[in-house]
Chain A
């Protein structure tokens, strides 16, 4: 069965510091992978996705993620965090594109000034 693991429930970083949020997945075939961000009172917003091709994908708001098949990982990175990045981040894997997404438990990011 498919599953997504986000090992870090909470992460706190200082503004301007670099960030890496971890995501590991379990899926038999080539996965469709996503990162979403959820801010209070707002719906989930797609940061980036990986379907195929270049394993380093660029997303919105300066985020990027790298698909590593050998490690079954799809970690999210940002070189310099802004206070507005404080939110909940979800990694997800899809069976076929966006259909029937399986979400990780989420990582709550706090940013210190």
Chain B
């Protein structure tokens, strides 16, 4: 299957700083990417839908100014957690939808953010 890669896989930052997480589709063009947040022992919660060249669509309750999403190319979407606080510590996962009939989603390996 297609490969989606996230970077970094693990990041620790101080409270108040901003952190950028990248999501890349390595061998296909992704017109749509999704960002999820996963709390320990809980499910994945959809944060936003990112379409190449347009503004992201955020789910209810997700602060768009807090979680900045940019989908500047067909192979890259970025999530920036601005002014991070300890409650933003979580596992962030992206998925990408390739072109084609199936529209199957391919998931990245996730990025664990710890805010001190």
Interface residues of A (CB under 8 A from B): 4, 9, 36, 41-46, 90, 97-106
Contact = CB atoms under 8 A, between A and B. Distances in A.
Nearest to A97: B103
Given A43-B4, A43-B93, A90-B43, A101 B109 contact: no
A42 B109 CA distance: 5
A100 B109 contact: no
A44 B43 contact: no
A36 B45 CA distance: 15
A10 to B, nearest CB: 10
B27 to A, nearest CB: 14
B41 A41 contact: no
Which size bracket describes the interface of B in this complex?
20 to 34
A104 B49 contact: no
Contacts of B34: 100-101
A104 B45 CA distance: 10
B43 A43 contact: no
B108 A104 contact: no
Contacts of A43: 4, 93, 95, 106-110
Contacts of B97: 98-99
Contacts of B42: 105-106
B46 interface: yes
Interface in B93-113: 93, 95, 97, 103-110
Interface in B26-56: 32, 34, 36, 41-46, 49
